[in-house]
Copies of this chain bind each other. A is one copy, B any other.
């Protein structure tokens, strides 16, 4: 079937609360720098009470990726669950305002819209504590056949392996996508997610995923090894395309027996690394959906990641399409 959307993504629909923090704050709050941890509502209220003044922006890993794809000029759809509250309205507005199809019904009478409390240290690193709220109420019923079957790539967020209902939604999406001849991509999301769901993730990658995104820590966690090359080779053996990000060292793309090393784009000052991996995936997926070479896919990823870490907030603040045209990566 020809694709109407370049990418449809399924993820935790989250509003970010971003605030500056000192290193000592992470220590006193017992937070592991650079990680994402799940918290309950009570801990959320408690932690927020001690955080600095901040800003609220729509976030969520796959939501950020979809925003990046829209910024590149891609046609995109998003599936995720917000609540029928003010922050849910903000999330929905921000999706639609960038031209993304989003009509997952908002949850009523349940928990509030998910929030991710992000403490950004002076080195630009972000440490995230997520209260999943309404986002975990996404079910298979929220995955519409007509969206999935008409998307060249369906992108799934590993974070959604936490709620079991969402895993069923993933299974439905994968079955529908493959039935229609489309591709399934997944990101491992976080090393702790990998620890919690290693078996299910390995099974899903082997049976369903055509494209896998991971960072170094995640791919090592997946294969329980400290040897990056070994982990990367093992991942490449069970999926068609792997794109592994390595921070300042750029990324490694493995596809069949081909290996591409992609440099990171230089950044004057790293302000906030929130969304770096998400934007890398945006550039890569957009390139793949448009049938570009993996080399160009990776460079689009590096470009998008560099843009997002140069400012606060997890989504692009300039047109990635214009940026890519200026670099000669897109026409």
Contact = CB atoms under 8 A, between A and B. Distances in A.
Contacts of A325: none
Given A48-B93, A86-B112, A57 B58 contact: no
B56 A315 contact: no
B48 A53 contact: no
A191 interface: no
Contacts of A52: 97-98
Which of A48, A55, A94: most chain B Cβ within 10 A? A55
Contacts of A19: 97
A196 B86 CA distance: 32
13 contacts: A19-B97, A48-B93, A49-B96, A51-B97, A52-B97, A52-B98, A53-B93, A53-B97, A54-B94, A55-B55, A55-B56, A56-B56, A85-B86
Interface residues of A, number: 26
A117 to B, nearest CB: 11
A174 interface: no
Interface string A229-261: 000000000000000000000000000000000
A23 B87 CA distance: 28
Contacts of A112: 86
Nearest to A18: B55
Interface string A89-101: 0100111111000
B86 A315 contact: no
B53 A67 contact: yes
Interface in A185-219: none
Contacts of A53: 58, 67, 93-95, 97-98, 315
B54 A55 contact: no
A163 B267 CA distance: 48
A42 to B, nearest CB: 15
A313 interface: yes
Nearest to A52: B97
Interface in A21-62: 48-49, 51-58
Contacts of A54: 94, 97
Nearest to A89: B48
Nearest to A19: B97
Interface in A69-91: 85-87, 90
Contacts of A98: 52-53
A121 B90 CA distance: 21
A313 B55 contact: yes
Contacts of A96: 49
Contacts of A56: 55-57, 90
A240 to B, nearest CB: 33
